[in-house]
Structure 1
Amino acid sequence: QDTTTAIDSLGNIVTINLLKGKFKQHENNPKREDGTIYLYCPPLQVDSEMENLINILDDLEKKQVKPIIIASWFHHAFTQIHPFQDGNGRIARLLASLILIKHKLFPFTVRGKEKKKYIDSLELADNRKPQSLIDFFCEVEKRNIEEALNQNFQFAYSKTSFTDVADVFSKKLESWKQKTLKSKTELFEINRNKIFEICNFFLNELKQNLIEKLKGNAEIFIETCSPNNVEKRTNYTIQISEYAKTHNYFFNRTMPRGWFRFVIKLSKERQYQLIISIHHFGYDDSTIAIGAFLDFIEPMILEVENKRISVKRKKNIIAKLPFEIAPLTVSLDVKINDLENEIKSFLQDTVTLTLAQIASEIN
């Protein structure tokens, strides 16, 4: 739209270019059906009136006046100023909607069959009777809430009905969020267990391949702990924390986790354990890290004296080896089966590096 109508200094209706993005420069007072002319703010006073409008709006927000009242007041005050040459009604509804949306309410929408009531309530507000406009805003909000809930409330409108509907809306929203949270939690548990199962399958496959390659020259076995094993899953907490710190991420120790202990025993005195941990990555509970670290196990020392066996050192010594492999992160929101190849590749690389590290220590 490039042109609109205005009223010149002689009171004549003229066609003028529409100033886009600027306040009006001509009068835009409407002539009503009874012949009277309604006077809006003169062009010269628009700047100061708009500034005053914003100041009052800020003050009402600070005083925490109900958003429905603020929005209806602002809508009417804006139309009283009529700051633009054209389109003031649409802009007033838009700005009122922004106020409502800011307070997590529905936008102000007027439908065709509601237009007469809308205009009538505005005219009553013009005559210092704003309650009808406030009531109309409440009715529109109530209608939008009902439609959002997909319910048809049969009770008649009253001053308390908005509160009633808002309460229902709040309860349904809370219920929906709880269901969503429950379904998310269930999905995360399912996918966490799937990751464990995939790791278990491929690690056992690697174990069998390694046993065949080594031809009995070393003993290979795997100890496992699933994320559902509450008693054992907290093992290696300190090591996992150190691993996470090394790789600059937060290890969420409050969430379920699982691990694999991949043991390569060359002799009684020489054995290694590769720990592969499945734990939560970061503060969000939707991401899993698959990490790995390698230890050398120095077994307890037994002494034989006069055919009697005594224990000189009762505990194995676990020595961490220089073994750096970054964690593989997996989202629990995706289809885990699609990530099988990625998980398999990570485990193969991890076991390969383990063998290389052990081989470097064999003279």
Structure 2
Amino acid sequence: MSEKRIPWHPVEPVPHLNGEIATRLASVDALQVAWKAVQASASPEEVEASLKRRLRRHAIETGIIERLYDMSWGVTEALVAEGLTTEVASAEGEVSEATLSVVKDQFEALAFLVEWARTDQELSIHFIRELHTLIVRHQPHYEARDQFGRTVRVPLVPGAWKTLDNTITRSDGAVIECTPPVQVDSEMQRLVALYAETAGAHPLIRAAWLHHRFIQIHPFPDGNGRVARALTLLALQRGQYAPIAVDRLQRTEYIAALDEANDGDLRALVRFFARIEEKALRAELQAPLTPVPESAGAVAVARAYASRLKAREVENQELKAQKATELAGALHTRLTHFMENTAHQVQEAFREFDSSAFANIDNATPPNPRAKYWHGQLVHAARLADFYANLGEGSWWVRLHLRLRGNLLRFITTIQKVGRGETGVLALTVFAEVLSSDAENGPPTPLYRVFEHPHVPDSVTLIYTDDAETRWEDIHQVVDTALSTAISRFSEDLA
């Protein structure tokens, strides 16, 4: 059977997106306001350090996405936190000098893009070629196929358009024909011109459109994916959003969103970028104040902290806290009802296998003292989701227990405040663990946590201005999917 081929077509303008996309972007924008308040209270050095950490993560992950190299989570976190140095790489013992050179090139290209974005210059062909040159500086060759279908190594000229046809093979086996070499220059000129016309569009829509249309052209022999992901940061930087990084765990979802864009629907890619932008913004709300050196003197220290603490104050802070509490309460009610129904149905299903199977739920909300239960579990889930959980007053949690054949599945879903102080930001996370519940041997003994890297469930970011009914669909989907995964893992281990 012959393969399905999708012919190339000229770059199309930004489509009009509204409805649920507009609602999702409004939620991102509300979170951006809280993030910018934190940025305003930090020193320029703190802001720059945070930016560089995010660029280092992007630089590492973009090569992993392309399978140029592999790197463990531990090494990745060390390089992100401490810097892309030979000392860190050699200490971890996994990263070769050649790999580190590639990562550094990708980081320097991103730093170049950020500096360029701070100017008033418009996107240009020259800039895109320069970006490619920086990214592939230490990549002398790329793999191609000759006329006999054999894989050959071909010299890679940085910044030069392709001279051979290239294609993209989708997961379903379909082959997408990219822009022919003879049309590349005109299509790239069209891409730049159309991007300039999108100035009034939301930065996340601009980012998704530019990313996909660039991939559609595939103007270089190699490095197109890395350039496309770098260009994604352009609209975000200009719009004062946090830089994002598509990581190895999101590769499948990322490619699926690109496939939908190739089929003419950009919405999945916009939603995908919106989710990782929310995560990036939310993570920054955890950042504590960096101590002022005591050597500066008591008065200098006092003035510095007074200024920064004053900057953290937000107008109508009490109203923001009240609205966030009302939103959390309304969603907690829905969660409790959903979990009660689910627990009953799960219990009935498993009693066909084990007549003693039992499922029940419990829940609590602030200011009830029980709202402070599960502190360790919730901190762990927040760390996996990359944010600071503010559990000073507790959280809005619902706990499901499923007892089956001497073992216990504990599934906790919770809504908690994010960041230090009243940011008006909430997050829903889930935690699941399996315990031995044999009563003859005392209290339940933890056996394992269900969710760990690289299998981390989605979380949902909420803003005090959100509507509970509108956001319930997102929450329901995350909780139902995570609970399904937890029950499946629990059941498989009993088989």
TM-score normalised per structure 1? 0.44
Max Rg structure: 1
Q: Decide which structure has greater strand share.
A: 1
Q: Decide which structure has greater helix share.
A: 2
